[in-house]
Structure 1
Amino acid sequence: MAGVDKPLPGKKPGILFANSKIKKPDQLSKEEYTRWYEQVHIPDIFKTSGIKEASRWTALDPSQDRPFLALYPLDDLDFLDTDEFKAIPVHDDNLPGSGEIFDLADFDTRYYKLAQLYEPENAKSGQPDFVIAAAFTPTDDKEYDAWYRQEHLKEVSGLTGWRKTERYDLTFARQNRSTGEDNKLPEPPKFLTLHYIDGESLPEKELAKAAESERTKKNLSEMKATQMAIFKKLAQFQK
Protein backbone atom coordinates (compact mmCIF):
# COMPACT_ATOMS: atom_id res chain seq x y z
CA MET A 1 0.00 0.00 0.00
CA ALA A 2 1.66 3.19 -1.18
CA GLY A 3 1.80 6.19 1.11
CA VAL A 4 2.11 9.91 0.41
CA ASP A 5 3.10 12.93 2.45
CA LYS A 6 -0.03 14.58 3.81
CA PRO A 7 -0.37 18.22 4.91
CA LEU A 8 0.18 18.59 8.64
CA PRO A 9 -3.10 19.22 10.49
CA GLY A 10 -3.78 21.95 13.00
CA LYS A 11 -1.89 25.07 14.03
CA LYS A 12 1.18 23.40 15.58
CA PRO A 13 0.39 19.67 15.55
CA GLY A 14 2.05 17.28 17.94
CA ILE A 15 1.53 14.48 20.41
CA LEU A 16 1.68 13.96 24.15
CA PHE A 17 3.52 10.67 24.75
CA ALA A 18 3.13 9.17 28.25
CA ASN A 19 4.99 5.90 28.90
CA SER A 20 4.34 4.52 32.38
CA LYS A 21 4.64 1.69 34.87
CA ILE A 22 3.12 0.83 38.23
CA LYS A 23 5.88 1.31 40.78
CA LYS A 24 3.95 0.06 43.83
CA PRO A 25 2.13 -3.09 42.61
CA ASP A 26 1.43 -4.09 46.21
CA GLN A 27 -0.81 -1.02 46.47
CA LEU A 28 -1.99 -0.42 42.90
CA SER A 29 -3.21 -3.29 40.74
CA LYS A 30 -3.27 -3.23 36.95
CA GLU A 31 -7.09 -3.23 37.12
CA GLU A 32 -7.15 -0.21 39.45
CA TYR A 33 -4.63 1.60 37.28
CA THR A 34 -6.84 0.98 34.24
CA ARG A 35 -9.89 2.25 36.15
CA TRP A 36 -8.08 5.45 37.10
CA TYR A 37 -6.79 6.02 33.59
CA GLU A 38 -9.98 5.29 31.68
CA GLN A 39 -12.69 6.43 34.12
CA VAL A 40 -10.95 9.34 35.85
CA HIS A 41 -7.84 10.66 34.10
CA ILE A 42 -8.91 10.66 30.45
CA PRO A 43 -12.34 12.19 31.31
CA ASP A 44 -10.46 14.91 33.24
CA ILE A 45 -8.25 15.52 30.21
CA PHE A 46 -11.28 15.75 27.95
CA LYS A 47 -12.68 18.53 30.14
CA THR A 48 -9.93 20.76 28.74
CA SER A 49 -10.11 22.59 25.43
CA GLY A 50 -6.91 21.26 23.89
CA ILE A 51 -7.14 17.44 23.80
CA LYS A 52 -9.92 15.62 21.97
CA GLU A 53 -8.49 12.14 21.39
CA ALA A 54 -6.61 9.53 23.43
CA SER A 55 -5.44 5.95 23.09
CA ARG A 56 -3.95 3.43 25.50
CA TRP A 57 -1.51 0.68 24.60
CA THR A 58 0.36 -2.17 26.27
CA ALA A 59 3.83 -3.45 25.40
CA LEU A 60 4.14 -6.79 23.62
CA ASP A 61 7.36 -7.47 25.53
CA PRO A 62 6.33 -8.33 29.12
CA SER A 63 9.81 -7.44 30.39
CA GLN A 64 9.64 -3.84 29.17
CA ASP A 65 10.33 -1.40 31.99
CA ARG A 66 7.36 0.85 31.23
CA PRO A 67 4.68 -1.39 29.69
CA PHE A 68 1.89 1.18 29.35
CA LEU A 69 1.66 3.90 26.73
CA ALA A 70 -0.88 6.68 26.31
CA LEU A 71 -0.94 8.87 23.19
CA TYR A 72 -2.77 12.19 22.92
CA PRO A 73 -2.71 13.90 19.48
CA LEU A 74 -2.81 17.69 19.59
CA ASP A 75 -3.79 20.31 17.03
CA ASP A 76 -1.65 22.84 18.89
CA LEU A 77 1.34 21.63 20.89
CA ASP A 78 1.49 24.96 22.74
CA PHE A 79 -1.59 23.85 24.70
CA LEU A 80 0.77 21.78 26.88
CA ASP A 81 2.31 25.00 28.20
CA THR A 82 -1.02 26.45 29.37
CA ASP A 83 -2.32 26.71 32.93
CA GLU A 84 -5.38 24.78 31.78
CA PHE A 85 -3.31 21.73 30.91
CA LYS A 86 -1.15 21.99 34.04
CA ALA A 87 -4.29 22.06 36.20
CA ILE A 88 -5.43 18.57 35.15
CA PRO A 89 -5.86 16.65 38.45
CA VAL A 90 -3.34 13.97 39.43
CA HIS A 91 -5.19 13.05 42.63
CA ASP A 92 -8.09 10.64 43.10
CA ASP A 93 -9.63 9.88 46.49
CA ASN A 94 -10.26 6.29 45.38
CA LEU A 95 -6.56 5.62 44.89
CA PRO A 96 -4.67 4.10 47.83
CA GLY A 97 -2.36 6.03 50.11
CA SER A 98 -2.10 9.74 49.37
CA GLY A 99 -4.38 9.37 46.35
CA GLU A 100 -1.74 10.97 44.11
CA ILE A 101 -1.01 8.88 41.04
CA PHE A 102 2.68 9.87 40.98
CA ASP A 103 3.16 8.11 44.33
CA LEU A 104 1.99 4.87 42.75
CA ALA A 105 3.09 5.00 39.12
CA ASP A 106 6.10 6.33 37.25
CA PHE A 107 5.68 8.36 34.04
CA ASP A 108 8.10 9.18 31.24
CA THR A 109 6.24 12.06 29.59
CA ARG A 110 7.36 13.65 26.33
CA TYR A 111 6.07 16.39 24.06
CA TYR A 112 6.65 15.91 20.34
CA LYS A 113 6.09 18.22 17.37
CA LEU A 114 4.73 16.51 14.25
CA ALA A 115 7.28 16.67 11.42
CA GLN A 116 5.82 14.31 8.81
CA LEU A 117 2.55 12.47 8.21
CA TYR A 118 2.85 9.61 5.71
CA GLU A 119 -0.25 7.59 4.90
CA PRO A 120 -2.36 6.30 1.97
CA GLU A 121 -4.43 8.74 -0.07
CA ASN A 122 -7.62 7.21 1.34
CA ALA A 123 -6.53 6.63 4.91
CA LYS A 124 -8.70 4.62 7.28
CA SER A 125 -10.22 6.18 10.38
CA GLY A 126 -10.06 4.72 13.87
CA GLN A 127 -7.13 3.42 15.88
CA PRO A 128 -4.90 0.68 14.41
CA ASP A 129 -4.11 -2.52 16.33
CA PHE A 130 -0.38 -1.99 16.87
CA VAL A 131 2.08 0.86 17.06
CA ILE A 132 5.84 0.53 16.67
CA ALA A 133 7.52 3.36 18.56
CA ALA A 134 11.02 3.94 17.19
CA ALA A 135 13.01 6.76 18.80
CA PHE A 136 16.47 7.74 17.53
CA THR A 137 19.26 10.24 17.91
CA PRO A 138 21.21 9.98 14.65
CA THR A 139 24.80 10.96 13.98
CA ASP A 140 23.70 12.90 10.89
CA ASP A 141 20.24 14.52 11.04
CA LYS A 142 20.13 15.29 7.31
CA GLU A 143 21.00 11.75 6.27
CA TYR A 144 18.54 10.37 8.81
CA ASP A 145 15.72 12.46 7.31
CA ALA A 146 16.73 11.62 3.74
CA TRP A 147 16.91 7.90 4.54
CA TYR A 148 13.36 7.97 5.85
CA ARG A 149 11.93 10.04 3.00
CA GLN A 150 13.83 8.40 0.15
CA GLU A 151 13.81 4.76 1.24
CA HIS A 152 12.58 3.62 4.63
CA LEU A 153 9.01 4.92 4.45
CA LYS A 154 8.52 3.07 1.17
CA GLU A 155 9.80 -0.13 2.79
CA VAL A 156 7.52 0.22 5.81
CA SER A 157 4.47 1.15 3.75
CA GLY A 158 4.75 -2.23 2.02
CA LEU A 159 4.13 -4.12 5.26
CA THR A 160 0.93 -6.15 5.50
CA GLY A 161 -1.54 -4.13 7.57
CA TRP A 162 0.46 -0.88 7.46
CA ARG A 163 -1.88 2.02 8.23
CA LYS A 164 0.29 5.13 8.51
CA THR A 165 3.56 6.56 9.82
CA GLU A 166 4.03 9.72 11.85
CA ARG A 167 7.42 11.33 12.49
CA TYR A 168 8.08 13.70 15.38
CA ASP A 169 10.72 16.00 16.87
CA LEU A 170 11.17 16.02 20.66
CA THR A 171 10.44 19.36 22.35
CA PHE A 172 10.24 18.44 26.07
CA ALA A 173 10.63 15.47 28.43
CA ARG A 174 10.13 14.92 32.15
CA GLN A 175 9.51 12.24 34.75
CA ASN A 176 6.45 12.72 36.98
CA ARG A 177 5.33 16.02 38.46
CA SER A 178 5.36 15.34 42.19
CA THR A 179 7.47 17.59 44.37
CA GLY A 180 10.58 16.21 46.01
CA GLU A 181 11.02 13.52 43.38
CA ASP A 182 13.96 13.22 41.01
CA ASN A 183 12.57 14.48 37.72
CA LYS A 184 15.74 13.87 35.72
CA LEU A 185 15.67 11.22 33.02
CA PRO A 186 18.46 10.10 30.74
CA GLU A 187 18.33 12.32 27.67
CA PRO A 188 15.65 10.76 25.43
CA PRO A 189 16.25 10.29 21.71
CA LYS A 190 15.83 13.35 19.51
CA PHE A 191 13.28 11.95 17.07
CA LEU A 192 10.28 9.62 17.32
CA THR A 193 8.56 7.62 14.61
CA LEU A 194 5.21 5.90 15.14
CA HIS A 195 4.38 3.15 12.65
CA TYR A 196 0.73 2.06 12.92
CA ILE A 197 -0.24 -1.44 11.77
CA ASP A 198 -3.53 -3.35 11.57
CA GLY A 199 -3.98 -7.08 12.08
CA GLU A 200 -4.25 -9.87 14.60
CA SER A 201 -0.45 -10.05 14.76
CA LEU A 202 2.55 -8.21 13.38
CA PRO A 203 4.14 -9.26 10.06
CA GLU A 204 7.40 -10.28 11.73
CA LYS A 205 9.16 -11.59 8.61
CA GLU A 206 8.24 -8.51 6.62
CA LEU A 207 9.47 -6.24 9.42
CA ALA A 208 12.82 -8.01 9.40
CA LYS A 209 13.07 -7.71 5.62
CA ALA A 210 12.29 -3.98 5.77
CA ALA A 211 15.52 -3.51 7.75
CA GLU A 212 17.79 -5.45 5.37
CA SER A 213 18.90 -2.71 2.96
CA GLU A 214 22.48 -1.49 3.28
CA ARG A 215 21.35 2.10 3.87
CA THR A 216 18.98 1.01 6.64
CA LYS A 217 21.64 -1.12 8.32
CA LYS A 218 24.15 1.73 8.13
CA ASN A 219 21.76 4.29 9.62
CA LEU A 220 20.65 1.99 12.43
CA SER A 221 24.22 0.97 13.31
CA GLU A 222 25.36 4.59 13.57
CA MET A 223 22.61 5.88 15.87
CA LYS A 224 23.83 7.67 19.00
CA ALA A 225 20.69 6.54 20.87
CA THR A 226 17.93 4.07 20.04
CA GLN A 227 14.70 3.15 21.82
CA MET A 228 12.37 0.63 20.19
CA ALA A 229 9.11 -0.77 21.53
CA ILE A 230 5.99 -2.39 20.10
CA PHE A 231 2.59 -1.82 21.69
CA LYS A 232 -0.84 -3.38 21.19
CA LYS A 233 -4.00 -1.32 21.45
CA LEU A 234 -5.94 -1.43 24.72
CA ALA A 235 -8.55 1.27 24.16
CA GLN A 236 -9.36 4.36 22.14
CA PHE A 237 -11.23 7.45 23.31
CA GLN A 238 -12.68 10.52 21.61
CA LYS A 239 -14.19 13.63 23.14
Structure 2
Amino acid sequence: MAPPPHLLWVTSRPTKLSPEDWIEWYNQDHLGALIDTKSVTNGALFQEVPLDPNAKHDKPFLALYQTEFADATRSDEFLNTKQPDSKVLERLDLSQNALEHGEFDARNYELIQDYDPNGVGNILVPVVLTVEMSTTDPAGFDDWYRKEHLPMLSKAPTWKRTLRYKAGPKAELASSEQPPYLAMYFFEDLAKASASPEAAAANETELTKKYLAECKPPAVARAWRLIGKERW
Protein backbone atom coordinates (compact mmCIF):
# COMPACT_ATOMS: atom_id res chain seq x y z
CA MET A 1 0.00 0.00 0.00
CA ALA A 2 1.34 3.43 -0.94
CA PRO A 3 1.73 5.98 1.86
CA PRO A 4 -0.33 9.19 1.99
CA PRO A 5 1.18 12.10 0.01
CA HIS A 6 2.18 14.27 2.97
CA LEU A 7 3.99 13.95 6.29
CA LEU A 8 3.73 15.96 9.49
CA TRP A 9 6.99 15.72 11.45
CA VAL A 10 7.08 16.95 15.06
CA THR A 11 10.12 16.77 17.32
CA SER A 12 9.66 17.60 20.98
CA ARG A 13 11.13 17.84 24.45
CA PRO A 14 9.06 17.76 27.66
CA THR A 15 9.62 20.62 30.09
CA LYS A 16 7.08 19.86 32.83
CA LEU A 17 6.64 16.11 32.40
CA SER A 18 9.09 13.28 32.87
CA PRO A 19 10.13 11.46 29.69
CA GLU A 20 8.02 8.52 30.85
CA ASP A 21 4.91 10.68 31.28
CA TRP A 22 5.58 12.37 27.93
CA ILE A 23 5.62 9.00 26.20
CA GLU A 24 2.45 7.98 28.02
CA TRP A 25 0.72 11.24 26.99
CA TYR A 26 1.62 10.72 23.36
CA ASN A 27 0.72 7.04 23.22
CA GLN A 28 -2.41 7.02 25.37
CA ASP A 29 -3.89 10.39 24.48
CA HIS A 30 -2.38 12.44 21.71
CA LEU A 31 -1.69 10.14 18.75
CA GLY A 32 -5.19 8.69 18.72
CA ALA A 33 -6.88 12.03 19.38
CA LEU A 34 -5.12 13.68 16.45
CA ILE A 35 -6.00 10.79 14.15
CA ASP A 36 -9.63 11.05 15.26
CA THR A 37 -9.77 14.61 13.91
CA LYS A 38 -9.20 13.06 10.46
CA SER A 39 -6.46 15.61 9.79
CA VAL A 40 -3.88 12.78 9.78
CA THR A 41 -4.14 9.15 8.71
CA ASN A 42 -1.87 7.48 11.24
CA GLY A 43 0.80 8.30 13.80
CA ALA A 44 3.97 6.92 15.36
CA LEU A 45 6.23 8.00 18.19
CA PHE A 46 10.00 7.58 18.28
CA GLN A 47 12.83 8.31 20.68
CA GLU A 48 16.28 9.21 19.38
CA VAL A 49 19.07 6.66 19.40
CA PRO A 50 22.20 8.87 19.26
CA LEU A 51 24.47 8.09 16.31
CA ASP A 52 27.12 10.61 17.36
CA PRO A 53 27.76 11.35 21.06
CA ASN A 54 29.01 14.82 20.11
CA ALA A 55 25.90 15.79 18.14
CA LYS A 56 23.60 18.20 19.96
CA HIS A 57 19.88 17.72 19.38
CA ASP A 58 17.64 19.23 22.04
CA LYS A 59 14.42 17.44 21.08
CA PRO A 60 14.79 13.66 21.50
CA PHE A 61 11.23 12.65 20.61
CA LEU A 62 9.77 12.45 17.11
CA ALA A 63 6.11 12.05 16.19
CA LEU A 64 5.36 11.23 12.56
CA TYR A 65 1.92 11.52 11.01
CA GLN A 66 1.14 10.53 7.44
CA THR A 67 -1.65 12.69 6.06
CA GLU A 68 -3.65 13.67 3.00
CA PHE A 69 -3.15 17.36 3.84
CA ALA A 70 -0.20 19.57 2.89
CA ASP A 71 -0.63 21.44 6.20
CA ALA A 72 -2.58 19.15 8.52
CA THR A 73 -2.82 21.44 11.55
CA ARG A 74 -4.36 24.20 9.43
CA SER A 75 -6.91 21.89 7.81
CA ASP A 76 -10.62 22.29 8.51
CA GLU A 77 -10.63 18.78 9.93
CA PHE A 78 -8.12 19.77 12.60
CA LEU A 79 -9.46 23.25 13.32
CA ASN A 80 -13.11 22.24 13.54
CA THR A 81 -12.71 19.18 15.78
CA LYS A 82 -12.45 19.50 19.56
CA GLN A 83 -10.03 16.96 20.94
CA PRO A 84 -10.88 15.18 24.20
CA ASP A 85 -9.12 16.07 27.43
CA SER A 86 -5.92 14.19 28.16
CA LYS A 87 -6.23 11.71 31.01
CA VAL A 88 -2.48 11.82 31.54
CA LEU A 89 -2.40 15.62 31.95
CA GLU A 90 -5.45 15.42 34.19
CA ARG A 91 -3.75 12.83 36.40
CA LEU A 92 -0.66 15.05 36.66
CA ASP A 93 -2.84 18.06 37.53
CA LEU A 94 -1.55 19.99 34.51
CA SER A 95 -3.45 22.18 32.07
CA GLN A 96 -4.84 20.57 28.93
CA ASN A 97 -2.67 22.82 26.75
CA ALA A 98 0.25 20.56 25.87
CA LEU A 99 2.16 23.52 24.42
CA GLU A 100 2.67 24.69 28.01
CA HIS A 101 4.43 21.47 28.97
CA GLY A 102 6.98 20.96 26.22
CA GLU A 103 8.92 22.44 23.33
CA PHE A 104 7.94 21.48 19.79
CA ASP A 105 9.30 21.87 16.27
CA ALA A 106 6.93 20.91 13.45
CA ARG A 107 7.53 20.49 9.74
CA ASN A 108 5.36 19.65 6.75
CA TYR A 109 6.73 17.45 4.00
CA GLU A 110 5.50 16.31 0.58
CA LEU A 111 6.27 12.79 -0.64
CA ILE A 112 8.43 12.72 -3.79
CA GLN A 113 9.53 9.07 -3.90
CA ASP A 114 8.31 5.81 -2.41
CA TYR A 115 11.15 3.39 -3.19
CA ASP A 116 9.64 -0.01 -2.52
CA PRO A 117 10.76 -2.39 -5.29
CA ASN A 118 9.90 -5.45 -3.19
CA GLY A 119 6.38 -4.29 -2.40
CA VAL A 120 6.68 -4.44 1.40
CA GLY A 121 4.07 -1.70 1.78
CA ASN A 122 3.61 1.02 4.37
CA ILE A 123 5.49 -0.66 7.20
CA LEU A 124 7.30 0.50 10.32
CA VAL A 125 10.54 -0.99 11.66
CA PRO A 126 12.17 -0.96 15.13
CA VAL A 127 14.62 1.84 14.22
CA VAL A 128 14.16 4.38 11.42
CA LEU A 129 17.08 6.36 9.96
CA THR A 130 16.31 9.91 8.81
CA VAL A 131 18.65 12.06 6.73
CA GLU A 132 18.01 15.78 6.17
CA MET A 133 19.80 17.40 3.23
CA SER A 134 19.91 20.39 0.92
CA THR A 135 21.29 20.79 -2.60
CA THR A 136 22.07 23.45 -5.18
CA ASP A 137 21.32 20.96 -7.98
CA PRO A 138 17.80 19.57 -7.38
CA ALA A 139 17.56 17.70 -10.71
CA GLY A 140 20.96 16.05 -10.36
CA PHE A 141 20.32 15.31 -6.68
CA ASP A 142 17.04 13.57 -7.53
CA ASP A 143 18.69 11.65 -10.36
CA TRP A 144 21.47 10.45 -8.04
CA TYR A 145 18.96 9.17 -5.50
CA ARG A 146 16.78 7.37 -8.05
CA LYS A 147 19.43 5.89 -10.33
CA GLU A 148 22.39 5.24 -8.03
CA HIS A 149 22.00 5.71 -4.30
CA LEU A 150 18.78 3.87 -3.52
CA PRO A 151 19.39 0.93 -5.90
CA MET A 152 22.80 0.44 -4.25
CA LEU A 153 21.67 0.99 -0.67
CA SER A 154 18.74 -1.38 -1.09
CA LYS A 155 21.25 -4.22 -1.38
CA ALA A 156 22.27 -3.71 2.27
CA PRO A 157 21.06 -6.49 4.61
CA THR A 158 17.64 -5.99 6.23
CA TRP A 159 16.77 -2.96 4.03
CA LYS A 160 12.99 -2.73 3.46
CA ARG A 161 12.09 0.58 1.80
CA THR A 162 12.94 4.28 1.59
CA LEU A 163 10.62 7.29 1.55
CA ARG A 164 11.80 10.67 0.25
CA TYR A 165 10.17 14.02 0.91
CA LYS A 166 10.60 17.68 0.06
CA ALA A 167 9.67 20.58 2.33
CA GLY A 168 6.04 21.66 2.31
CA PRO A 169 4.32 24.75 3.78
CA LYS A 170 5.89 26.15 6.93
CA ALA A 171 4.17 24.51 9.89
CA GLU A 172 2.47 26.51 12.62
CA LEU A 173 4.78 25.10 15.31
CA ALA A 174 7.98 25.43 13.26
CA SER A 175 10.82 26.62 15.50
CA SER A 176 13.88 25.94 13.32
CA GLU A 177 14.95 26.21 9.70
CA GLN A 178 13.56 23.28 7.74
CA PRO A 179 15.95 21.37 5.47
CA PRO A 180 14.62 21.14 1.90
CA TYR A 181 14.83 17.34 1.68
CA LEU A 182 14.20 14.42 3.99
CA ALA A 183 14.87 10.72 3.41
CA MET A 184 13.56 7.99 5.71
CA TYR A 185 15.29 4.61 5.56
CA PHE A 186 13.59 1.50 6.89
CA PHE A 187 15.89 -1.36 7.94
CA GLU A 188 14.92 -4.30 10.15
CA ASP A 189 18.40 -4.08 11.73
CA LEU A 190 20.00 -0.66 11.26
CA ALA A 191 23.28 -1.61 12.98
CA LYS A 192 23.76 -4.63 10.74
CA ALA A 193 22.90 -2.66 7.62
CA SER A 194 25.20 0.24 8.54
CA ALA A 195 28.17 -2.09 9.04
CA SER A 196 27.67 -3.87 5.72
CA PRO A 197 29.93 -3.53 2.67
CA GLU A 198 26.84 -2.74 0.59
CA ALA A 199 26.08 0.36 2.68
CA ALA A 200 29.74 1.38 2.54
CA ALA A 201 29.75 1.08 -1.24
CA ALA A 202 26.61 3.21 -1.57
CA ASN A 203 28.08 5.90 0.66
CA GLU A 204 31.49 6.04 -1.01
CA THR A 205 30.65 6.74 -4.65
CA GLU A 206 31.84 9.94 -6.28
CA LEU A 207 28.30 11.26 -6.61
CA THR A 208 27.51 10.52 -2.97
CA LYS A 209 30.64 12.38 -1.89
CA LYS A 210 29.75 15.26 -4.22
CA TYR A 211 26.22 15.78 -2.87
CA LEU A 212 27.29 15.38 0.74
CA ALA A 213 30.12 17.89 0.26
CA GLU A 214 27.78 20.40 -1.41
CA CYS A 215 25.14 20.09 1.32
CA LYS A 216 25.13 23.34 3.35
CA PRO A 217 24.54 23.09 6.26
CA PRO A 218 25.88 19.53 6.50
CA ALA A 219 23.49 16.60 6.17
CA VAL A 220 21.89 15.54 9.45
CA ALA A 221 21.45 11.82 10.06
CA ARG A 222 19.47 10.65 13.09
CA ALA A 223 18.21 7.26 14.23
CA TRP A 224 14.86 6.86 15.94
CA ARG A 225 13.57 3.90 17.97
CA LEU A 226 9.86 3.16 17.58
CA ILE A 227 8.06 3.46 20.94
CA GLY A 228 4.42 3.78 19.93
CA LYS A 229 2.05 3.79 16.98
CA GLU A 230 -1.62 4.24 16.09
CA ARG A 231 -3.31 2.87 12.96
CA TRP A 232 -0.05 2.47 11.07
Instruction: Compute the displacement of 1:131 (Å).
Output: 1.2
Q: Considering fraction of residues, name the structure with more helix.
A: 2
State the secondary structure of the residue aligned to 1:218.
Answer: helix
Note if 1:38 corresponds to 2:31. Answer: no
Cα displacement (A) at 1:213: 0.8
TM-superposed CA distance for 1:80, in Å, is 4.1
Task: Compute the TM-score of the two structures, normalised by the length of structure 1.
Answer: 0.81
Find the residue that maps to 2:164 and give its secondary structure.
Answer: strand
Measured in 1, the distance between the counterparts of 2:97 and 2:23 equals: 15
Match of 1:58 in 2: 47
Question: Matched residues in 1 for 2:6 and 2:136: separation?
Answer: 24
Q: Which moved more, 1:153-162 or 1:44-53?
A: 44-53
Q: Does 1:189 align with 2:189?
A: no
Q: How much does 1:122 deviate?
A: 2.9
Whole-Å Cα distance in 2 between the matches of residues 64 and 96 of structure 1? 29
Q: Is the 8 A contact 2:108 2:171 kept in 1?
A: no
Unaligned stretches of 5+ in structure 2? none
Q: How many residues align?
A: 221
Q: Does 1:223 align with 2:215?
A: yes
Corresponding residue to 2:227 among 211, 234, 238: 234
Q: What is the RMSD of the two structures over their aligned residues, measured on CA atoms?
A: 2.6
Aligned to 1:162: 159
Distance 1:125 1:138, change over 3 A: closer
Q: Which residue number corresponds to residue 9 of structure 2?
A: 17
Find the partner of 1:116 among 113, 117, 120.
113
Identity %: 28
Q: Secondary structure at the match of 1:65?
A: coil
Give the 3-state SS of the residue equivalent to 1:196 in structure 2.
strand
Please report how far the alpha carbon of residue 120 of structure 1 lies from its aligned counterpart in structure 2 after TM superposition: 2.5
SS state at 2:169 partner: strand
Q: Deviations over 1:151-182 (max 9, x none)?
A: 11112211111111111111134474xxxxxx
Instruction: Trace 1:163-182 onto structure 2 (pairs within 5 A).
Output: 163-174=160-171, 176=173
Tell whether the 8 Å contact from 1:54 to 1:71 is kept in structure 2 after alignment. Answer: yes
Residue 143 of structure 2 corresponds to residue 143 of structure 1: no
Residue 180 of structure 1 corresponds to which residue in structure 2?
none
Partner of 1:83: 76
